[in-house]
Amino acid sequence: MAEIVGSLDRAVTRDDAPGPSPAPAGIAAVPPAQGSWLKRIDWSKAGLLVGLALFLIAAFVLYDTLEDLTWNDIANALSRIVWHQVALAFAAAALSYAALIGYDILALHHVGAKQVPLPAVAFTSFVSQTFTFTLGFGVLTGGAVRWRMYQGYGLKPSQILAVGALTTLTFWLGIATVAAICLLFRPSSLAPIDGLAPNLNFIIGVAVLVGVGTWVTVSTIRKRTLTVGEVTMPLPGPQATLGAILVGLLDTVAAAAALWLILPAGPDAGFISFLAVFAIATVLGVISHVPGGVGVFEATLLLAQPQIPRGDMWASLILFRLVYYIIPFAIACLMFGAYEVRQRQQEVGQFAKALRSFARPIAPRAAGIAVFLGGVVLLFSSATPEEHYRIAILRTIIPLPFVELSQLAGSIAGMVLLIISYGLVRRMANAQRLAVLLLLAGAVCALFKGLDVEEAIICSIVAGLLVLYKDEFYRQAELFSVRPSFHWIIACIVAVGATIWLGFFVYSNVDYQHKLWWDFAYSDDAPRFLRATLATVVVAFGIAAYIIMHRTRAAFDPATREELATLEPLIEASTRSDAHLAMLGDKRFLLSASGKGFTMYGVQGRSWIAMSDPVAPEEEIDGMVWRFKELVDRNGGMPVFYQITTGHLPAYLDAGFSLAKLGEEAWVDLSKFTLEGSEGRRLRQAKAKAERSGATFELVPAAKVETILPELEAVSDAWLAEKGNKEKGFSLGFWSSDYVRRYDQAVIRQSGRIVAFANIWRGADKKEYTVDLMRYLPDGPAGMMDLLFIGLLSQAKSESYQWFNLGMAPLSGLARHPLASLWSRVGAFVYRRGDRFYNFEGLRSYKDKFKPEWRPKYLAFPGGLALPQILMDVTGLISSSPRRALSEETT
């Protein structure tokens, strides 16, 4: 606080004499010509010169003291300190700071600012004093804190300035009185510093006490004032002076005790002598203007206490700096920061929200990198020796088995962190939870194996960031279901290899023998490194083997019959005939928020493939596109919509999907369908041809399908055998007894024998009519499929349906322009040239004779280079879904 006084222009006058005071009787006035040189002296600069001189002297003393001293000497001295004494030193420091509150209380009372509550005074005093003690420059540090805090309680600027000046003045009164009292009892204690005889030091102490007593007497008789710039304030009277002396005595005794308690045991001159030296060292440190009196304070104590070994003295001084300066300063910073945050809650909240919003997109990748580096830190730590002085401390508090296990556990945690860090990039919730646990475990292990505080702090910070952004890790996929990229695997191999190289380089002078594996001691770093390396390599190979052998399921279990039963009302109420694909039993379902619609989907590899548009009311479909994408994102998959229509393309584009045309679907307007006149001539001829061969069309209701089910199955088996194909599903029907008996069947008979059939789907509100599963005998009559479709179209029209869906012509209608997309050009080429594999053009030509309206169908996918993999996954899902559904049916 003395920096405040040194930086202010001040003058002391009598309160009844506003002008210059006349010279006392018997003392000649100094002529202006002779006294003007005194006025031209900048006394603040003179104070700085005195401080600089003190610092240079202290620097010389410290250089001489430290010339033959090594860090090992200080470390050994620290290891000999009894730690319960450190706890007592903390208590003494707390008492000292509590006493310092008295200076602010006295100053506030003196300027009439009694409205400031005691907790606020204590807070302000602690923060301002720690800032001033540690940083120096009291006007800019402690004074600024007082200004910031006290103006909130209505104090005027002049009052706040007066408080700062008065606390400084009372501080000097208190510490001067303490030093003087100590000189009366131990006048010889300052002899090593000032070189004066004990009697002379005694006289100095008496003179200081007489001066303080005179001040008390004069202030009792006549009040004095202090002028700082344009502000005039009353100086402390006898009560305030005596209060300052009492506060200073308590503060200095407590602060001195904080250092006294951690001094090494040995010969000493007693606490009173030490108190005098401590007070003088504090005064010299303040005069030097060095923050915290660093150097000057230490040099004074070293000179005044020659009987204490230098290494022990330095160890105690370093620990005192930590106890009395560094830790209180850190606490004060946190308290002041919390106060400022509280005062600006709205602004801080907005800033934190903006910062969080900015960091959210990069948080998963940044977390993955940070966790990877945290794993590297733990691995490198196991490959390097511990500090000897830390091991010496650790030996007294941690049993050896815990040290050994901590080394192993820390290395294993580091190895696993390298591997799961990739899961954080993919936003996996399991990876986030495991990473937090491993980082916290790594922090504990770092402390237990060698008091590696730095590593523990790094791990704790990274864990804290993961907890802070835990909402960004929401995907519920299995931990090792997402394989790391090649680059990530190489990075893990490099990190482990570098750790092993570093360890063998550090311990290159160790004679490697088999017995090293069984050496257990606090100082045996090399054996611990060997065991940790072996454990790390074993865990790495174990995890790699698990990832290689662990096969994530290509798909999941289909929906149960109970789940399908809950969907039946929604399917029956849907105007879309393809909603009946849900009843195949090879899909799972995502219900809409209202429960009035659903999205049917399957999973193959990383692709989550929804079949067509969501089956829901029109107003809910756009939201369900997002809902499905969110579901897939939570599980770390790739969302795909297969065979979507043009009705809701903006919803898919808004959701970030790219589109690829799959082909066109044939829709027959039943109001225009006829077998009459010239338009129906070709269809009449086809029908007549089939009927002449003995073929007839019949509609079998679902209630009677059971009676013909064996015949239908025989037709289906013959068709599959002739085609040489396995059943396909997902986007089209396959043979399943439960599925077939659910629907009306259109059958073609020849001489009473069923030669072809198709199951019928009907949409609600008489809008759509179509067929799904179609099978026929290879040796059936000519024209039987024409008769089947003509009979179906006529039946649909007779039932007053609006449209008949003839199904899709794959790759039909794709652009052939040179500037079209690569997919479109490749698809168009396959459509023209791929008849060897599939009759693309023939299928379209066959459906064209019914004069349909062609409507495009699209694939919605995430874009980029994922399309080839997605098409492979769709093909795999169509091929495998019947097997999954039928196996579910038989269980």
| pLDDT surpasses 70 at 361 | no
Q: Burial level of 129, CB count in 10 A (0-12/13-18/19+)?
A: buried
Average pLDDT over residues 228-256: 73
Q: Nearest 5°: CA angle at 587, between 584 and 591?
A: 115
* 8 A C-beta contact, residue 297 and residue 284: yes
| pLDDT surpasses 60 at 617 | yes
* 8 A C-beta contact, residue 651 and residue 682: no
Q: What percent of the chain has pLDDT over 90?
A: 15
Separation between Cα atoms, residue 443 and residue 619, nearest integer Å: 53
In the chain, count H helices and then E strands: 33, 14
* 8 A C-beta contact, residue 388 and residue 413: no
Summarize pLDDT for 497-552 with one digit per residue, the tens.
Answer: 888 888 777 777 766 666 666 666 666 677 777 888 888 888 888 877 776 666 54
Separation between Cα atoms, residue 159 and residue 154, nearest integer Å: 10
- The one-character DSSP state at 743 is S
pTM across the whole model: 0.52
Longest Cα pair distance anywhere in the chain, in angstroms? 154
| pLDDT surpasses 60 at 889 | no
* 8 A C-beta contact, residue 757 and residue 712: yes
| pLDDT surpasses 80 at 692 | yes
* Helix, coil or strand: residue 606: coil
Q: Which residue has the higher pLDDT, 226 or 489?
A: 489
- Per-residue confidence (pLDDT) for residue 266, from 0 to 100: 58
Average pLDDT over residues 557-571: 83
Q: Which residue has the higher pLDDT, 557 or 536?
A: 536
Q: Extract long-range pairs of 490-497: CB within 8 Å, 24+ residues apart.
A: 491/372, 491/418, 492/418, 492/419, 492/540, 495/372, 495/375, 495/376, 495/379, 495/418, 496/379, 496/415, 496/418, 496/536, 496/537, 496/540
Summarize pLDDT for 6-50 with one digit per residue, the tens.
Answer: 333 333 333 433 333 333 333 333 344 444 444 455 544 554 555
**665 is written with which tokens?**
């679907």
Q: For residue 555, report the phi and psi dihedrals to the nearest 5 degrees.
A: -150, -175
| pLDDT surpasses 60 at 700 | yes
Closest CA to 644 of 653, 636, 635: 653
pLDDT confidence of 867, banded at 50, 70, 90?
confident
| pLDDT surpasses 60 at 169 | yes
Q: For residue 195, report the phi and psi dihedrals to the nearest 5 degrees.
A: 70, 15
Amino acid at 565: A
pLDDT confidence of 640, banded at 50, 70, 90?
very high
- Per-residue confidence (pLDDT) for residue 861, from 0 to 100: 92
Residues facing 658 on adjacent strands: 861
Q: Compute, in degrees rounded to 10, the torsion defined by CA atoms 452, 458, 464, 465.
A: -170
Out of 430-434, 606-610, 675-679, the most confident range is 606-610
**330 is written with which tokens?**
């850190």
Q: Among 239-243, 597-601, 643-647, which is the least confidently predicted range?
A: 239-243
**772 is written with which tokens?**
């799904």
Separation between Cα atoms, residue 273 and residue 192, nearest integer Å: 12
| pLDDT surpasses 90 at 794 | yes
- Per-residue confidence (pLDDT) for residue 56, from 0 to 100: 60
- Per-residue confidence (pLDDT) for residue 224, from 0 to 100: 65
* 8 A C-beta contact, residue 812 and residue 664: yes
Residues facing 790 on adjacent strands: none
Separation between Cα atoms, residue 800 and residue 535, nearest integer Å: 75
Averaged pLDDT score across all residues of the chain:
77
CATH number of 671-801: 3.40.630.30
Would you say the C-alpha torsion 62, 67, 68, 69 has a positive or negative sign? positive
Task: Give, in order, the Cα–Cα distances in Å from 834 to each of 806, 810, 869, 878.
Answer: 22, 11, 21, 20
* 8 A C-beta contact, residue 737 and residue 713: yes
Where b means 16+ CB within 10 Å and e means fewer, 839-870 reads ebbebbebbeebebebebbbbbbbeeebbeeb
| pLDDT surpasses 50 at 643 | yes
| pLDDT surpasses 80 at 570 | yes
* 8 A C-beta contact, residue 315 and residue 74: yes
Summarize pLDDT for 710-768 with one digit per residue, the tens.
Answer: 999 999 999 988 877 788 888 888 888 888 999 999 999 998 899 999 999 999 989 99
Summarize pLDDT for 442-468 with one digit per residue, the tens.
Answer: 888 888 877 778 788 888 888 888 887
Q: Nearest 5°: CA angle at 807, between 804 and 809?
A: 135
Separation between Cα atoms, residue 561 and residue 742, nearest integer Å: 14
Closest CA to 496 of 611, 609, 635, 380: 380
- Could you count the other beta carbons within 10 Å of the beta carbon of residue 467? 13
Task: Give, in order, the Cα–Cα distances in Å from 2 to each of 53, 211, 280, 287.
Answer: 18, 19, 14, 8
Separation between Cα atoms, residue 636 and residue 548, nearest integer Å: 19
**76 is written with which tokens?**
């050994």
- The one-character DSSP state at 326 is I
Domain ranges for the chain, please list them: 2-14+51-59+70-343, 358-549, 671-801
Summarize pLDDT for 64-108 with one digit per residue, the tens.
Answer: 555 566 666 666 767 667 777 788 888 998 998 888 888 778 777
Separation between Cα atoms, residue 217 and residue 226, nearest integer Å: 17
* 8 A C-beta contact, residue 792 and residue 746: yes
- Per-residue confidence (pLDDT) for residue 112, from 0 to 100: 72
Contacts of 852 (CB under 8 A, 6+ apart): 666, 667, 668, 806
- Could you count the other beta carbons within 10 Å of the beta carbon of residue 59? 13
List, in sequence order, every beta strand (DSSP E) within 187-310: 224-228, 231-234
- The one-character DSSP state at 28 is P
Closest CA to 812 of 827, 793, 802: 827
Average pLDDT over residues 421-443: 83
* 8 A C-beta contact, residue 258 and residue 99: no
- Helix (H) / strand (E) element for 607: namely strand 607-611
Q: SS3 letters for 47-61?
A: HHHHHHHHHHHHHHH
